[in-house]
Structure 1
């Protein structure tokens, strides 16, 4: 989907702010979004002209809605905000604990994906 330069600029700023706030690497974001690392890096640095599926996936992984409200600014998903607040309560503020919690979340996602795949093939 094509977007005008003003809206694109706001989306790029929102993505970059969320990346900075999250402290996640491009590879971690790519894994969470199920997007190639090179694409995640390019998108997170604002090197895109249209809102492709990969841009949407990156936004979702970062908790940004891609449906722009009337003012053109992306909004934070309130459910993501709730999860982020809960995760913050678990985190002991160390990089090692951040890595452990991130790995736990990735493992939970893999279990969910495996469970959903089994459920889809075994009615």
Structure 2
């Protein structure tokens, strides 16, 4: 997702606050998020320029809420907005739930490639 500098700064501040509050190690966050501890360290230090998959995973592990792009997606592509809405309905907002949904979608994609 493309974010403004202001939005990125707000996310960096939320990550820093959650990281300080939770007082857990980079390795522990990495295990929950499925992200290497060195990347967790970099992300928690605010050294990122985009909202990458790893940043999202770390945010989920730290319970940091991210801005949603629903309105923009619905205006630009109604089909994609429908997909996002369906995924949000089945996701329980946990890293494990996200991984399960990703595995399911990858399995469907593999079936499409084979047929």
TM-score (norm. length: structure 1)? 0.54
May I ask how many residue pairs the two structures share in their alignment? 76
Q: CA RMSD in A?
A: 2.7
Task: State the partner residue of 1:8.
Answer: 8
Task: Tell me, in whole angstroms, the C-alpha distance in 2 between the residues paired with 1:66 and 1:7.
Answer: 9
Which 4+ stretches in 1 moved above 6 angstroms?
none
Supply the distance in 1 between the matched residues of 2:7 and 2:66 (Cα, whole angstroms).
11
Q: In structure 2, list runs of 5 or more residues that go unmatched.
A: 70-91, 101-115
Q: 1:120 maps to which residue?
A: none
Structure with the bigger percentage of helix: 2
Deviations 1:14-54 (A, max 9, x none): 00000000001111111111101111111110000000110
The answer on whether the counterparts of 1:3 and 1:49 sit within 8 Å (CA) in structure 2 is: no
Whether 2:23 is the aligned partner of 1:23: answer yes
Give the TM-score normalised by the residue count of structure 2.
Answer: 0.57
